[in-house]
């Protein structure tokens, strides 16, 4: 029986999944031949191709494709209803193409060797070490806040435009590569998302478009958070997919920036994760540590809470659940909770590199 070209593409989805999962167990192969060989070429090509464009090309492509799909479904709804099997075959074919393209363009990075191996870091789960690190981090955060405002009760307002923050983020990577050469970032392609309102309602601060390799930041974010998210998304662009790893890269590039506002943004972001872990473990310790925080720092935390709460909606948990499932399907077993695992890196790193 002769199989049509469309059906062959649709059926190829099954062996694709098998091959990806097999490669997922051979991180050494993925690291050597994809993450350090093929992917850098792909990434630099698309950053060169789209990086100079001042708006998100990927967002426009997404919008056009979504519009075309809606028009097709509405225009052909009767035909689709009468030929359901054929429609499902077409969907399978599209999924097969998307699955292949996604993994070739960026997705195989989910199966590379852990960043901790490259940095020779052993994630530190010791609670006492976490407490001691958090206390030092509070001192650094308070110190940075007071250096900027000269008043412990005043919230920090980062005075830069988003364009200036992108520029300083790129400069930060230039500084970071002197410490970690594998994090060198050239041919930048980092932009505000055209879908920032939608991202905010879904609860997302940014994302990397895997098909155009554009690092996208939610343009509605308060400037207090913008530098860290920019650094995080570039980390994805450099080929690190795990959220705890890109959180750590975002911290490294932002905290090592010479700009005092960036240092404050990094310390405050890391502090939020550490305090969150301590609150889950021991509320007495959490309450004690919160008393040590400058009220200006607390105001910045409250600023972020008010921002996200103002966009809270019934669909946000649905979008978070979808993303959680996506992460778990792509070698991140803890799903969304993997963001918090950055704390293990922070404690281990600063054990050898004291604040």
Domain parsing of the chain, residue ranges: 5-111, 116-352
Question: b/e for 174-193, b at 16 or more Cβ within 10 A?
Answer: eebeeebeebebeebbbbbb
206-209 and 190-192 strand pairing: unpaired
A 10 A CB-CB count for 90 gives 15
Distance (Å, rounded) from C-alpha 74 to C-alpha 79? Answer: 10
Confidence band for 48, pLDDT divided at 50, 70 and 90: very high
For the record, the structure tokens of 231 come out as 């650094």
Burial of 316 (0-12, 13-18, 19+ CB in 10 A): middle
Distance (Å, rounded) from C-alpha 103 to C-alpha 327? Answer: 14
In the Cβ-directed half-sphere of 117, how many Cα atoms lie within 13 Å? 7
Q: Is the pLDDT of residue 316 over 80?
A: no
Q: What is the largest distance, in Å, between two alpha-carbon atoms of the chain?
A: 79
Across the range 167-174, mean pLDDT stands at 96
2 Cβ contact partners less than 8 Å away, ≥ 6 residues apart: none
Q: Which residue has the higher pLDDT, 272 or 318?
A: 272
Q: Is the pLDDT of residue 323 over 70?
A: no
The pLDDT, as a whole number, for residue 24 is 87
3-state SS of 277-322?
A: HHHHHCHHHHHHHHCCCCHHHHHHHHHHHHHHHCCCCCCHHHHHHH
Q: With beta carbons less than 8 A apart as the criterion, state whether 139 and 228 touch.
A: no
Across the range 183-197, mean pLDDT stands at 95
Burial of 1 (0-12, 13-18, 19+ CB in 10 A): exposed
Q: Rg for the chain (alpha carbons), in Å?
A: 22
The pLDDT, as a whole number, for residue 124 is 82
Q: With beta carbons less than 8 A apart as the criterion, state whether 206 and 169 touch.
A: no
Question: b/e for 320-341, b at 16 or more Cβ within 10 A?
Answer: eeebbeebeebbbeebbebbbb
In the chain, the percentage of residues whose pLDDT exceeds 70 is: 92
Closest CA to 242 of 115, 102, 101: 115
Q: Is the pLDDT of residue 11 over 50?
A: yes
Q: With beta carbons less than 8 A apart as the criterion, state whether 263 and 144 touch.
A: yes
Confidence band for 338, pLDDT divided at 50, 70 and 90: very low
Q: Is the pLDDT of residue 333 over 70?
A: no
Q: With beta carbons less than 8 A apart as the criterion, state whether 122 and 348 touch.
A: yes
pLDDT tens-place string over residues 283-314: 999 999 999 999 999 999 999 999 999 998 77
Helices (H), 76-126: 77-82, 84-105, 115-119
């Amino acid at each position: 029986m002769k199989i049509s070209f469309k059906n062959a593409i649709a059926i190829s989805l099954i062996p694709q999944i098998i091959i990806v999962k097999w490669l997922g167990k051979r991180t050494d192969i993925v690291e050597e031949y994809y993450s350090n060989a093929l992917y850098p070429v792909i990434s630099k090509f698309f950053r060169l191709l789209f990086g100079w464009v001042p708006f998100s090309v990927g967002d426009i492509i997404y919008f056009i494709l979504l519009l075309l799909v809606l028009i097709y479904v509405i225009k052909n709804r009767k035909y689709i209803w009468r030929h359901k099997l054929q429609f499902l075959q077409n969907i399978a074919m599209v999924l097969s193409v998307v699955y292949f393209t996604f993994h070739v363009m960026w997705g195989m990075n989910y199966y590379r060797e852990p960043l901790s191996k490259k940095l020779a870091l052993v994630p530190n789960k010791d609670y006492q070490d976490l407490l001691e690190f958090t206390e030092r981090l509070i001192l650094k955060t308070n110190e940075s806040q007071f250096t900027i405002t000269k008043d412990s009760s005043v919230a920090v307002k980062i005075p830069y435009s988003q364009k200036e923050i992108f520029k300083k983020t790129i400069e930060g990577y230039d500084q970071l590569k002197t410490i970690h050469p594998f994090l060198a970032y050239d041919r930048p392609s980092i932009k505000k998302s055209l879908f920032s309102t939608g991202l905010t309602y879904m609860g997302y601060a940014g994302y990397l478009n895997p098909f155009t390799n554009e690092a996208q930041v939610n343009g509605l974010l308060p400037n207090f958070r913008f530098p860290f998210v920019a650094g995080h998304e570039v980390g994805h662009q450099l080929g690190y997919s795990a959220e705890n790893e890109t959180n750590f890269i975002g911290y490294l590039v932002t905290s090592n920036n010479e700009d005092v506002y960036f240092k404050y943004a990094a310390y405050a972001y890391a502090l939020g994760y550490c305090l969150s872990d301590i609150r889950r473990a021991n509320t007495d310790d959490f309450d004690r540590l919160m008393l040590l925080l400058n009220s200006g720092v607390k105001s910045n935390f409250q600023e972020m809470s008010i921002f996200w709460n103002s966009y809270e909606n019934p669909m946000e948990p649905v979008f978070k659940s979808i993303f959680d499932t996506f992460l778990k399907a792509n070698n991140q077993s803890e799903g969304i909770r993997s963001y918090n695992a950055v704390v293990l890196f922070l404690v281990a790193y600063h054990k050898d590199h004291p604040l």
